[in-house]
Every structure is written in C-alpha cells, then in structure tokens.
Structure 1
Amino acid sequence: MAQCGPLEPPQPPAEPSVKPVLFEVFGEIWTVQARLGQGVSASVYQVSSGRACTAAVKQFQADSHHGGDYGFHKERTVLEDIQGHKNIVTLYGVFTNHSGVGVATRCLLLELLDISVSELLLRAGSSHHHRAQQGLSMWLVQLCARDMLEALSFLRREGYVHADLKPRNILWSADDQCFKLIDFGLSFKEGNQDVKYIQTDGYRAPEAELRNSLAQAGVELGGHCTAAVDLWSLGIVLLEMFSGTKLKDTVRSQQWQDNSAAVIDHIFGGNSEALPAIPMYHLRDLIKSMLEKNPQRRCTADKALLSPFFSVPFAPHIEELVLLPSPVLRLLNLIDDSHLHNEDQYEDVLDDMREECEKYGSVVSLLIPKENPGKGQVFVEYACSSDSKEAQRRLTGRTFDGRFVVATFYPLSAYRKGYLYQTLQ
C-alpha cells in the first residue's frame, strides 16, 4: 500500500453529519482517522488498518437520482480502465459498506495522498509577504505542469477526458514524489460525452461553457467536448500557481473576453522583478498556448511537454520544502562548524544524529556535508515518507544544545543526485 505508517494531518472541524468510525474492507477492519473532504455525491476519509497501512476511502451517497450508484460506477469504471500511471491516483479496490442503519453504500479504496495544489496556493498566499514573487516557485510550477501534462497525455492515449481539472484535484504524493490527478467523477470517453455539465466554474473551457449553457436551455447538442478542455483548465491552474491569485473573476471579465493574451502579459509583467526573464517567457508562452479560445488551435499535452520551459533547472522555496513531504529530511541549525573539522567529533555527531533519527523510523542514509553547498546541514533519508513525516513533526521546534531545530523535507531526486540547493528564497 501507499504508506507504511499512520499520518496525522490537522483534524478538520467537526461536522454535524454522522461520519463512519470503521469500514470493513475485504475482511479487515479499517479505522477512520479523519474526514478529508465532502462533496455532493461522496465523502472521502483517511483510514488506517493497524500500523502497516493508511489509505483513503471514497464513500458514495446512496444515489437514487441517477438510478442507483451512478457516481460510484462511473468513477470505478474509469479508474479501473486507467490504472498504472504514476500521475494518476491508484485504486486499490472497491467494496460495499453495510452500516448499522441498514443502508449499504458503495466505496472506493484509494491510495492516500498529501497536500493539494489548492492548499499550497492558500499557504503561499499567507506567507509571500516577504518575497518579491507572489505565487509558487518556478520549480513547483514546472513540477506540477510536467506531472499533469504526463497524466493528460496518458488519458488522451486511453481515450479519456478528465473534465474537472482544478487545484483541488491535483495532489502531491510523498511516496512517489510527484503530483497525481484525482476525482474522475465527470470523466468520459472522448466522442461519447455522457455528462451534461462538465468542469468547475473558473476552470471551464469556453466550449464547455457554451455546451453547459445550451444543455441548461434544453437544446439537443451535436458534437462533444474533447481533451482540449483539460488543457484549458491546466493553463488556468498554472497561471494561478504563478501569480498566487484566484482567477475566477479575471476569466469572467470583459477584458479577458476581449484580449486574454494581454491579460496574461500583464500578470507576467507584474511578477517580473524576482524572476529570470527567459524561463518566465517560456512559461508565459506555454500557458498562452493552453488558453487558446479555439480548441482546435489549443496545444495538446504531448506538444506542451516539448516546451523549452521544461529544460530549465529551478530551485524550490524553503516553505515549499516544509509543505511537500518526501522521504528525505533536512535539519538546519544543528551542527557547529567546529564539529565538521575534527574527524572524531564529526563521527560522533553522525552517530548521534543517526541514533536520534532512528527513533522515528528506518534510516536509509544520513549525510552532513563539510563544505558548501549544504555545509553543516543534516540530510536524513528514511525508508518511507510516513516515517519522515513523523520525524519532521517531532523534531521541529526541538532544541539541541540550546538551538532551535528547523526540519524541512528535501526533494528525493535532488538528494539522490547529490544536488544540494545552495540558497533557497
């Protein structure tokens, strides 16, 4: 299963509706730890089974409006058909939950993922006052863009349109160190659109907007929306990540209708002092190619992946390293320079750090560079991300020798390549 230990995210506020305490899945009891989200047709819970496994359960309301379990069958069918791509949420299984009230509900057992792009944007919004750039770092925008384009490219090969791509449906996986697409409740086979209303307001492509309003007016529709609607949504998501602002009102404005390219130029112009110009223009042009009004002229996922934007290396912001869990921890403010140059002391420090870090899980490797980059920082690679999350939670704010420890995560790929970021804004 995805995680190898229980997670403890902040508990959501208590809700009046009754939430289940247990699920019985394939003869095993899973305990509900938190409600992660609630929509019109389903609720999502974090569940754990003993020490070894955590997962998510998506429980569908008994749904007579669509003739039975329409939402469940729809999402199950799509997910079963598209399993096996690293940027798509993993479906472990399906089951029926028989509650004491006598109502049987259909459920999906899914991999548990971490923070969503929606939450990342909220957190960035609250902490960007000390940075010149308002939005998320180019490193994060690039990472998310590449992962989502890979997912969309795969969906298109499989003949599917996601039809509800938005920040809340893009989640980080600490285990796989990438973003994944979730929530396939509105998805359909290209050329066979069985969903009347698609996409969420603010991320809806012009052709979907038109089709939705005609459907509302009861007009019989010929033709279908294509995979191009997903590229439009992703273009808006990337523009929001770059700018750090919600664009729902912007895309409704007359200015946007008249000349969306000028609005995009303005957004990029306002953010320019902090960033190198060339990669910023690559990103701007990539987003423009996704936000072509005419779906025939909009770029495809495969073509977008060839953008020069993806060949530029970037570094993350430090707060993103706090928010994006990874099996690797980076501990700051621990080691005195004097410890680094005395070989005996250095070995003692290594042993002490390993012993301390082993308290939270199995340590694969531990590195304390003696020179820059990374001089005196402690890098600890855990066997799995649930252990590093527990360690990060427990070590942050601790004092060693009168110093406050700062514990952030660190990208696994950079650590494995020996690439230690020198400075992080």
Structure 2
Amino acid sequence: MACSSESSGKLSSDVSTSAMMAPSPATVDQTMTPVLFEIFGEMWNVQARLGQGVSASVYGVSSGRSSTAAVKEFQADAQGGDYGYHKERSVLEDIQGHKNIVTLYGVFTNHSAVGVATRCLLLELLDVNVSDLLVRASNQGHSMWMIQHCARDVLEALAFLHREGYVHADLKPRNVLWSAEDECFKLIDFGLSYKEGHQDVKYVQTDGYRAPEAELQNSLAQAGLEVDSGCTAAIDLWSLGIILLELYSGIKLKETVRSQEWKENNAAIVDHIFTRNSMACPAIPVYHLRDLIKSMLRVDPKLRSTADAALISPFFSIPFAPHIEDLVLLPTPVLRLLNVIDDSHLYNEDEYEDIVEDMKEECQKYGSVVSLLIPKENPGKGQVFVEYANAGDSKEAQRLLTGRTFDGKFVVATFYPLSAYKRGYLYQTVQ
C-alpha cells in the first residue's frame, strides 16, 4: 500500500523500539490477512489488530529494523470528513512531551489497493492496559505498590493536561496503559478531549466511569434539550476515583455505580469496600487511599479534588515494595530469574565466574544483553538480574525461560524495575 506522509513536527522517521498495547505471540490473529503500511518511505508489517472502534482501528506494526509502533487508522465520518482524525491529532500535537501521555510519532495518509485513502496516526506502542490488570486480579485487588504507581502516573498526566486547559473526557481502564520502556502508566485516546469551556462533543465518558454532571448532560442531550457545556476537568478525577477503587477491590463496579444506593451515598459504599478488604493491607496506607478516592468521588464537582491537590495526598508519601505478581504483569527491560543459583556456587570464584558466563550465554539467545548481575549477598542473593537492550527482548526471554529447568530446578522469571536496578537497589519483593 502506498501512502503519502505528513510531518507532525514531532517525528523522526527512525522510530525507536517502544512498547496502544504490544501483541504477544498468543494474541496475534493468525487468520488476519497480512497488511503493510508504507510509512515515511519504509514498509511496516501489521502484527495484530489491537482495537476496533466505530471510527478507527488500531494495529501493532513493526519495521524491518525490528522497530515497533501502533497505527491508529481512521475511517471517514458520516459526512465523509476526517473530523475524528483532525480532532485527536490536534490534541495530541498540543500536549506532546509528557512522560505519562502516549507519544505521537507522526501522521500519514494510507492509500489502499482499492483507492480508498485513510488518515493515520503513528503512535508509541504500549503494553498491558489496566482493564487487563483488573481481569488478572481475580477479585483479590492489586497491591498498594501497583495502585500507588498507577494513581501517581495518571494524576501527573491529568495535572499536566488540565494545566494545558484540556479535559480528557474518556478516562477508563482501557485508556491507561503500561510502558515497558519508560516503566510508567500512560494515557491514550484523546478522541473525546476538549478545551475546558469549549466542549465540542455532546456525549462524554464511558458508562461506569461517568461523573454525575456528565450523566446529566448526556441525558439532556439525548432528549434533544439544549445543554450547558459545563463538564470541567473534575469529570476526569471522578473516573480515576472509580478506576482506583476497582484496582483496590479487584471488582468491576459498573453495576454498583448504577445503583440507587451509590447515588444516595457513595461514600458509605467506598467505606464498606475498604472495610471488607482492609485485612489484606496495612491500616494507615489503606485509610489514606480510601480518603484519596473519596475526595475524587464527591458528587459536587466544585468540591472534588483536583489532580494537583490529589498528588500531595499522604498516600504518596509511603514507599511500597512490589509483589512478585506485579513484576510478572508489568514488563521492563530487566529480567529477574529466581530458583536458579545455589548458595554454594556463590563462594567458589571459579564456579561463580562459570555460572555468570553460562547465564549470559543462555540469555543472549533471546536478545541483546547489556549487563548481568548475580549478587553474592542479600538483598538479591543468588538471583540473576539480566538487563536487555529493550523490553521486547526481555519479554521474549521471560516467555521462553519461565518453566525451564536449570541444574534440575524450575526457573521463575519475573521483570524488575530498570530504575531500581540501575541504582543498585535490589529490594525484597512481597510474596
């Protein structure tokens, strides 16, 4: 497929390998007809369809240099125009540069074999989304480390977005994704976003994450009544409050927030959820998280917490260690191998050097190894830390090494935060 390229002012044609959601080998649709996008003079292969909406499809793509990205391809709207494309492009170009917002690499027009032209965004390819994390929570809820990490990252993005005058207007678990390369959560999908006070979309937010004032506005618009464009940045905080409550409880709350009991006194329901789950977590952080969520779920938007105010909550002053499950779910460029080395191997220098070389040789089969560390003392004693050149190699190694045997023992492979590894901080994870 040929295409003409346009500069967004923020693109290098040399797109680095980056991690919308990276397909794993298990998720690639093998029945999908192979598709090529020609982007800036280079052919990119479609690896998987990552999402399908009314107005756009999202694909994971890779180039011959093993670079990866996401392509969001827009269909023409009912009037034959490109409003959705121009809307999201303009918002993204205006807010680029924040670490917790998806990166726009560039834009191009794709011409299909039948002569149909479609507008496309070339975006950073991200990993697992919060919706998938909720599915994997199995009604147990996630760790305080995970919740704090997600809350801080999304609040940082919202604080920036709101300072720029924008309302996201569709914050939900599927629009918060993990970046393996940057080790943080990022916001995507700005198709409903607007400048505060200049709302140009009638229906905002997704059912289950919709603030009361947006619910009222949507109902009036559906009835054909004139509505006041009064949905402020506060609607984003409401959505985040629901997301954090779901992460803590491990339960999707769509039916709960539709109930009359919720509308009459959501604070009581929040208290009940925290009372039910509080045995699993230390009391003080739990109370801080509960109060933070309640501040986001005030019915009156004028009383609702702002993103900046939420970021100074006492909840963020408490350090947490990740659970081992967290490091399985959230990819990074560093792999940690457990159940591999016996203590006896650590104190014989010749044996130790042989093991280091053997492990490096094995790990290099899956990608480019930057460094490898086997600590001789705690913390981290006997664990193998392998830093790969990128998260793609690390994910492939994790997939292939998990369950392998080494010296008669089954290997357990998790990821490990690159930032902590670089600082030499090898914490003991919570089981």
TM-score between both structures, scaled by the size of structure 2:
0.93
After superposition, give the CA deviation of every residue in 1:7-34 in whole Å (9 maximum; x if it has no partner). Answer: 644225578xx76611111221111011
Shift of 1:66: 4.6
Count of residues paired in the alignment: 415
Alignment correspondent of 1:312: 318
Q: What are the within-5 Å matches in structure 2 for residues 4-403 of structure 1? A: 8-12=24-28, 21-63=35-77, 65-125=78-138, 134-403=140-409
Cα 1:244–1:415 shift into 2, 3 Å? same
Q: Which amino acid aligns with 1:405?
A: V
Would you say the 8 A contact 1:363–1:383 is kept in 2? yes
SS of the aligned residue for 1:171 comes to: strand
Runs of 4+ in 1 over 3 A off after TM superposition: 4-9, 12-15
Would you say the 8 A contact 1:318–1:424 is kept in 2? yes
SS of the aligned residue for 2:48 comes to: strand
SS of the aligned residue for 1:341 comes to: coil
Q: Which amino acid aligns with 1:247?
A: L
Shift of 1:249: 0.7
After superposition, give the CA deviation of every residue in 1:278-335 in whole Å (9 maximum; x if it has no partner). Answer: 0010000000000010000001000000001001111222222111110110001111
Would you say the 8 A contact 2:323–2:429 is kept in 1? no
SS of the aligned residue for 1:153 comes to: helix
Q: Which amino acid aligns with 1:84?
A: G
Would you say the 8 A contact 1:329–1:380 is kept in 2? yes
Q: Which moved more, 1:147-156 or 1:412-421?
A: 412-421
Q: CA RMSD in A?
A: 1.7
After superposition, give the CA deviation of every residue in 1:244-300 in whole Å (9 maximum; x if it has no partner). Answer: 000111111111111111100000001111110000100000000000100000010
How far apart, CA to CA, are the structure 1 residues paired with 2:109 and 2:130? Answer: 31
After superposition, give the CA deviation of every residue in 1:36-94 in whole Å (9 maximum; x if it has no partner). Answer: 1111111100001113311000111122x255111111111101111111000011111
Would you say the 8 A contact 1:2–1:111 is kept in 2? no
Would you say the 8 A contact 2:29–2:48 is kept in 1? no
Shift of 1:361: 2.4
How far apart, CA to CA, are the structure 1 residues paired with 2:324 and 2:304? Answer: 35
Would you say the 8 A contact 1:365–1:380 is kept in 2? yes
Shift of 1:371: 2.2
Q: Which amino acid aligns with 1:42?
A: A
Alignment correspondent of 1:131: none
After superposition, give the CA deviation of every residue in 1:329-349 in whole Å (9 maximum; x if it has no partner). Answer: 000111111101212211211
Gaps of 5+ in 1: 129-133
How far apart, CA to CA, are the structure 2 residues paired with 1:252 and 1:185? Answer: 25
SS of the aligned residue for 2:302 comes to: coil
Cα 1:19–1:92 shift into 2, 3 Å? farther
Shift of 1:139: 0.3
After superposition, give the CA deviation of every residue in 1:91-123 in whole Å (9 maximum; x if it has no partner). Answer: 111111111122111111101000000011111
After superposition, give the CA deviation of every residue in 1:174-207 in whole Å (9 maximum; x if it has no partner). Answer: 0111000000010001110000000000000000
Shift of 1:369: 1.6
Shift of 1:2: 4.4
Cα 1:20–1:41 shift into 2, 3 Å? farther
Q: Which amino acid aligns with 1:75?
A: E
Q: Which amino acid aligns with 1:410?
A: Y
